[in-house]
Amino acid sequence: MSFINENVTIKNADLLEPQSMWNADLGNKRFSNPVLYADYSDPDAIRVGEDYFMIASSFCNSPAIPVLHSKDLVNWKVINYVLDKVPEERYKDPIHGCGVWAPAIRYHDGIFYACFPMPDEGIYMSTTKDPWGKWSEPVNIRPGAGWIDPCPFWDDDGRAYLVAGVAKSRIGYKSVLHMVEMQPDGMGLIGEEVKIFDGNLNDQVTIEGPKLYKRNGWYYIFAPAGGVKVGWQTVLRSRNIFGPYEYKVVMRRGDSSVNGPHQGAWVDTVTGQDWFLHFQDVYAAGRITHLQPMSWENDWPVIGIAKNGNDYGEPVMEFDKPDVGAKTYEICEPATSDDFRTDRLGLQWQWNANYQNSWYKCTDSGLLLNAVSVETGRPLSDVRNLLLQKWPAPEFTCITRIDVTGMAEGDTAGIVSMGMHYAGLCVKKDGVKLQVIAVEGEQKFNGQEVLTTENQNKSAEVSADKIWFMYNVERTGYKDINAEEKHTPVETVTLSYSTDGVNFVKCVSAESLAGRWVGVKNGIYCTHEGENGGHIIAEYVKYVKNVKSES
């Protein structure tokens, strides 16, 4: 991290038009991977009729468990969240790396089920008949720490089951999958828990994230192994749901550039094609989503394209779009830019912890953020009301215009880059002037304990009614982390401010580092030390391709 003081001139920020950040649809009936360059980690998906629904991890952020929708598996939009708040009182504060881990989504007898783990609290279930509408309050169907990555399954005879992995950090061992019978309504477990696979006894170490299916009388468990960044996709199969299970590796990185290709969902199309959605960990940007063709040989799946006589597949980077019938659908992507002139906060936004409605209000002028009280010395990374969204592309610029006339003495407001290396650029109300402050910090984790170090640098004093903040992400190279993790991307984040939207001052530049199991997020905040804070109005947040200096 480095503090700098460099003047940069750009075209008037107010005249820049928001731009598309990432879309995989090539417009010629083909697509390129990834289909989502954003941290929708641990994805699971289903098809219901002509509609596809995908959910993903959300950890301590709220609202929690994003629900995405697509008609063709390539073009996706966020349509909802399963949870308004993360269950349990302790999530009123950020608990990085805890909260909602890899969830599963299923559809049975007209009901959508979202089953999700909280590794310290248990396995939860929430339901709805309308994925665009309200989901039920979650029920903890297996209280207690240790089990993770659950997936429910309803068999042909109406009986229901749950398969799950384990977290060594909570239970003392890893690489083991369990199966247990579930109540047909999904609201509880019955019978004995059975260990059905132990990856410690073979070459499937760190097997986790199981997803359970049935085809041609075989029970299949799709489960990633080998670790997030360097692993592969394994599939287990058995004629009996409780095993014994045989296994086969069905996708490896091979000669592709896609490291650790695994963990996701098998889905089909109305025309009978099979596809697999999975993630790739790209470090600072998190776990991005790929789509692979899937075929079958001798009742084993092959994900991607088999090469050189191999019996497993390798990821494709470009391919024909899924055949979803004669219809064509809108080319789209998750929202990013926002002027907040709506009746509720946009679905691209999540808070750093469970939020309170009193923190904000959407108005005709923009997003009113009240200054939330924080204790003196609280690290920026642990501020509850950071309003964040995922990186939407490997490179981009985000410009935020803030009306600061409502700030009270002692208020602080600005932008943040949130990862294990984090940075902020803000203004603090000090009399009639605003003090510009640059913040840099680092989180280090020892198990569940976190040690945070933070430094601040006062840059300048300004007097203005509006402040423009610019957040720029640039791919600046690649580096080898170790013998297995080579040629990993390096992104540099630069934070700047302006009092006229044209002449900016660069204040912070840093190589970015992902958060605790999540990609870097960027956003805005407003805080106050003590009581009786004021407010700011975020008039717009605008995402564009990398803005270049005019100087």
What's the whole-model pTM score? 0.97
pLDDT above 90 (res 415) = yes
Residue in 121, 208, 333, 382 annotated catalytic: 208
- For residue 359, the SS3 value is helix
Phi, psi of 116 (to 5 degrees): -140, 150
Q: Is the same domain home to 210 and 265?
A: yes
452-490 confidence digits (pLDDT tens):
999 998 878 999 999 999 999 999 999 999 989 999 999
* 301/385 same-domain check: no
How much is the mean pLDDT over the chain? Answer: 96
Confidence bin at 550 (pLDDT 50/70/90): low
Render pLDDT for 258-279 as a digit per residue (tens, 0 to 9): 999 999 999 999 999 999 999 9
Task: Identify the band that residue 547 occupies on the pLDDT scale cut at 50, 70 and 90.
Answer: confident
Work out the number of other CB atoms within 10 angstroms of the CB of residue 229. Answer: 17
Q: What is the pLDDT of residue 447?
A: 78
Chain-centre distance of CA 314, in angstroms?
24
Q: What is the pLDDT of residue 394?
A: 96
Active site residue 511: no
Active site residue: 25, 39, 42, 44, which one? Answer: 42
> Do 194 and 254 belong together in one domain?
yes
Q: What is the pLDDT of residues 310-335, one digit of tens each?
A: 999 999 999 999 999 988 899 999 99
For range 147-157, the mean pLDDT: 98
- Has residue 4 been placed in a domain? no
CATH number at residue 493: 2.60.120.200
pLDDT of amino acid 2 = 57
549 has pLDDT over 90: no
**pLDDT number for residue 4:** 75
Pairing of strands 372-374, 521-529: parallel
Told to judge if 181 belongs to the known catalytic residues of this protein, a careful annotator would answer no
Residue 172 has pLDDT above 60, yes or no: yes
Q: What is the DSSP string of 181-223?
A: EE-TTSS-EEEEEEEEEEGGGTT-TT----EEEEETTEEEEEE
In a shared domain, residues 48 and 197:
yes
In this predicted model, what pLDDT tens digit does every residue of 173-220 receive, in sequence order? 999 999 999 999 999 999 999 999 999 999 999 999 999 999 999 999
Q: Is the model's pLDDT at 1 over the cut of 50?
A: no
Final residue of a domain: which of 269, 302, 320? 320
Residue 36: DSSP 8-state? B
- Can you give the residue range of the structural domain that contains 486? 350-544
Q: Domain holding 129: CATH number?
A: 2.115.10.20
- The predicted structure's pLDDT at residue 328: 87
